[in-house]
Amino acid sequence: MKALSAIYTIWYRNVLKYFRMKSRIIGSLGMPFFFLVIIGFGLNSTIAIPGMQVDYVEFIAPGIIAMSILFSSMFSGVQLVIDKQVGFLKETLVAPVSRLHLMIGQALGGATTALMQGILVLVISLFIGVNLPSISGILIALLFMFLIGLSFTSVGIAFASRMEDTHGFQLIVNFVLFPVFFLSGALFPLDRIPGWLSFLTYIDPLTYGVEGIRYGMLGVSQIAPVLSFAALGGFLIAMLLLGSLLFNKIKI
């Protein structure tokens, strides 16, 4: 009971702060929007996806949703570093609450806000021509979106636990997030690529997230949804453990 209330408190603070930062919400919709509209429509007539009866815009929409979740997830890590810098972290560390619960609250809070960003992009994609999926399809997509959010929020927390200022996040965005995004099969189909690239896509956890959302939204995917779920779930557990471990080691 006490644990739940602590987790809820940290979650609540993250969500409260999310809704207060309207400019952040709008701002982080910019990139997904341009990807969808410019790349999606720009290549729509040029590219046909073999073996799938879908437009290119429809094909990349799940990838762009995953992208917005991926990038939003990092914000939870940034928030943690800011909390360290402004001292707020101490206020939570000295409360009669275990660090594991603080970490879980932070991860759930970050995942929730990232999920909301993803839902906004999903809605945008429906407006620009992606067909409305079935209810069960939407639920499957939301499940995978949440799993992506929670895993990468945990990655952000793991990084943040070792960092003293937010400059490091620029590096993470360039050297972790962009590769993870571009390798994920968000923009291209997974068969017909050279072997070395194929290898990299299959070890990229986001690939399974994108494929899961794709299955939910389009009803077709290249990787079986059960397999995607297992792979992403495994990655999530590993990242939650890593995040908790490093969060536990934060020195003040």
Residues at the site binding another protein, with contacts judged by CB under 8 A: 2, 5-6, 8-9, 12-13, 16-17, 20, 83, 86-98, 164, 251-252
Cβ at position 153, least distance to another protein in Å: 19
Q: Distances in Å between the alpha carbon of 229 and those of 147, 225, 248? A: 9, 6, 28
On whether the CB atoms of residues 76 and 110 are closer than 8 A, the answer is: yes
Look up tokens 């017909």; give the residue.
Answer: 192
Q: Is the CB of 89 or the CB of 190 nearer to another protein?
A: 89
On whether the CB atoms of residues 160 and 77 are closer than 8 A, the answer is: yes
Cβ at position 158, least distance to another protein in Å: 17
Cβ at position 12, least distance to another protein in Å: 7
Q: Is the CB of 88 or the CB of 178 nearer to another protein?
A: 88
Cβ at position 173, least distance to another protein in Å: 22
Look up tokens 């939870």; give the residue.
Answer: 76
On whether the CB atoms of residues 54 and 218 are closer than 8 A, the answer is: yes
Q: Is the CB of 94 or the CB of 203 nearer to another protein?
A: 94
On whether the CB atoms of residues 122 and 28 are closer than 8 A, the answer is: no
Q: Is the CB of 83 or the CB of 211 nearer to another protein?
A: 83
